[in-house]
A and B are shown apart, each in its own frame.
Chain A
């Protein structure tokens, strides 16, 4: 199975949650342990090993937070 590499520009995240809502693998969530410069808990991968690099999270993200690569 293809493996996805997701990188986050966490400083840009406004925690709208659209990536979490649409992730087919349901492996994304807010990082409640950190607060970014905009005052939000930024989004991150809960189970990065399950990511197949479909790119839907980046597609739904309005703020260019997410880059997705696939191996």
Chain B
């Protein structure tokens, strides 16, 4: 495998191509545009399709059509664009169409800003659009993981017939790091449900309308069971020095890397600190967080968000077992030393020093 310097956004695009993605449908928005630009250059040279859609709505519906053919397809956007795509994501979830949706987050609400943000956590992990559904959400924390989790995303999408979102901060999208370029995926699952023209078989239908009560109930029951299967099979997280820790930091994406350094700083100052890094934001690693809450004394959610969003999942996971603190601001990633300072305050409050 070749080791090359790549921008996070380019690692996503190259990873997608290596995962067999042959359809990209997007609309320009900072800080995700490099993905579309990379695809615009590459797709025509590998027999793939690139369409710059007239809107985010059109882009996500092109993904709906493309995914229905059985091809691996994707789109990429950022917060305001993802908001617009939510209608289509709801249809993709109900139509059980596998695809990858990349959200390179920027601050909001409204137009917000283009600086780092994790404030799309709610719209990513709570379904986001209308109706009873979830989508798998993966949160990489390096350029390498931008590639690897993109490839995993396509695999999970096909395995569970679901849209998958890859959510990363604009910082990570623009960070240049060495990346081990993975081998091309050569084996793909059969998709007998795909809409390809009914030559030699009965017609296939992709539909999200279920008017009779029993039909809708059966349908949603099926989706609920699928989400349960995803919960039992696909939760991914990383633990760092959690075994003896009194104070547990919970952070994902690029914040987890910064938090890791803060953990080491805090330990050198005598605070037994550890880190949980959720890799799947949905399904959330409730079990891991709950297990560690039984042995630690307090937890801290560190997010690039002013209100705090993931903190709600930590509260759900810990069910009041330990106090939960919050460190977070929008549009800026704090450095490890700043976090360490805040950890000292929290540790003092909790009687850990």
The answer to whether any beta carbons of A and B sit under 8 Å apart in the complex is no
